[in-house]
Amino acid sequence: MFRATVLTLFPEMFPGPLGLSLSGDALSRGVWALETKQIREHGLGRHRAVDDTPAGGGPGMVMRVDVLAAVIDAAAPADDPRPRLFMTPRGRPLTQARARELAQGPGVIILCARFEGVDERIIEARALEEISIGDFVLSGGEIAALAVIDACVRLIPGVMGEEASGVEESFEAGLLEYPHYTRPRDFEGRDIPDVLLSGDHAKIAKWRHEQSLALTRARRPDLLAQPSSASRRR
């Protein structure tokens, strides 16, 4: 079973949207599991402090390495095979391929930071994989963690209604997804493309591939520049 453990100062943010729709139904059926660990339970002193002033000076506060090590060790023993992720804007961008790899594994342990970030030493000491969901900054890692878990859970067998739904999507073939249409046939003078109503599955597949290529060239040409995309440009 895929198990997600989130280390956070705000456990009440979970399951949040993960408790709804496909992921929520799968969670209630026991297809996957979610737990949260309150970082402050391992805080120091009467006030359960989890942060301190940055070495060298500067604004804000930094989460302490000893506190984070304690919560990680309590949540994930050394023999726990799950990857340990740390949500940070400086991390490697999450890709569909990485989400699929994670979904096929035993689950994830995700550290969500607050304040100015974490003591750098915890990343190496506990082998954290730094992950980003985009070139922007959030107030903390919780929203990013929700996105990562959702991206993984929807790929677990038995979560989505049709297996093909997870294959014919943006990034699965290194391209953006083709446009979709449904009834009514005409909407304010805008018609469904005739090829989609032709019943010719070969032509429909060709049209969809051409549309994916065109959208990718226009919006994400960097995807086409990747070596793995060469065979899909034909």
If asked whether residues 139 and 47 sit together in one domain, one would say yes
If asked whether residues 199 and 172 sit together in one domain, one would say yes
If asked whether residues 225 and 124 sit together in one domain, one would say no
Which of 153, 187, 219 is the last residue before a domain boundary? 153
If asked whether residues 175 and 59 sit together in one domain, one would say no
pLDDT in tens, the chain (234 residues): 999 999 999 999 999 999 999 999 999 999 999 999 999 999 999 999 999 999 999 999 999 999 999 999 999 998 999 999 999 999 999 999 999 999 999 999 999 999 999 999 999 999 999 999 999 999 999 999 999 999 999 999 999 976 545 556 667 778 999 999 999 999 999 999 999 999 999 999 999 999 999 999 999 999 998 875 544 454
If asked whether residues 185 and 79 sit together in one domain, one would say no
Question: Could you tell me if residue 158 is inside a domain?
Answer: no
Cβ(175)–Cβ(213) below 8 Å: yes
Q: How far apart are CA 40 and CA 49, in angstroms?
A: 7
If asked whether residues 146 and 77 sit together in one domain, one would say yes
* The token pair that represents 182 in the structure block: 């449904």
CA end-to-end span of the chain, whole Å?
39
* The token pair that represents 189 in the structure block: 């003078």
If asked whether residues 121 and 211 sit together in one domain, one would say no
Question: Could you tell me if residue 162 is inside a domain?
Answer: no
If asked whether residues 210 and 126 sit together in one domain, one would say no
The total number of structural domains that make up the chain: 2
If asked whether residues 148 and 54 sit together in one domain, one would say yes
Which of 90, 122, 153 is the last residue before a domain boundary? 153
If asked whether residues 58 and 127 sit together in one domain, one would say yes
The pTM score is 0.90
If asked whether residues 36 and 7 sit together in one domain, one would say yes
* The token pair that represents 23 in the structure block: 């992921």
If asked whether residues 39 and 136 sit together in one domain, one would say yes
Query: What are the Cα distances from residue 47, in Å, to 19, 41, 44, 111?
Result: 31, 10, 7, 21
Query: What angle do the packed helices 21-28 and 142-153 form, to 10 degrees?
Result: 70
Domain of residue 227 covers 168-232
Helix (H, G, I), strand (E, B) or coil at 203: helix
Question: Could you tell me if residue 159 is inside a domain?
Answer: no
